[in-house]
A and B are shown apart, each in its own frame.
Chain A
Amino acid sequence: GNSVTQMEGPVTLSEEAFLTINCTYTATGYPSLFWYVQYPGEGLQLLLKATKADDKGSNKGFEATYRKETTSFHLEKGSVQVSDSAVYFCALSDTDSGYALNFGKGTSLLVTP
Chain B
Amino acid sequence: DADVTQTPRNRITKTGKRIMLECSQTKGHDRMYWYRQDPGLGLRLIYYSFDVKDINKGEISDGYSVSRQAQAKFSLSLESAIPNQTALYFCATSDFTQSTDTQYFGPGTRLTVL
Contacts and interface: CB of A to CB of B under 8 A. Distances in A.
Interface of A: 32, 34, 36, 42-46, 49, 51, 89, 93, 97-106
Interface of B: 31, 33, 35, 40-45, 48, 50, 56, 58-59, 90, 92, 94, 96, 100-108
29 contacts: A36-B105, A42-B108, A43-B105, A43-B108, A44-B90, A44-B92, A46-B102, A46-B103, A51-B100, A89-B43, A97-B45, A97-B48, A98-B31, A98-B33, A98-B50, A98-B56, A99-B31, A99-B94, A99-B96, A100-B45, A100-B58, A101-B33, A101-B43, A101-B92, A103-B43, A103-B44, A105-B40, A105-B42, A106-B40
Contact of A45 (B35, B59, B105): B105
Contacts of A89: 42-43
B110 to A, nearest CB: 10
A43 B107 contact: yes
Contacts, number: 58
Contacts of A103: 42-44
A89 B41 CA distance: 11
B106 to A, nearest CB: 6
Secondary structure of the A contact surface, majority rule:
strand
Nearest to A104: B42
Looking at A34, A97, A101, A105, the one whose CB has the most chain B CB atoms below 10 A away is A101
A45 B103 CA distance: 9
Contacts of A51: 100
Contacts of A104: 42
A45 to B, nearest CB: 7
Contacts of B42: 89, 103-106
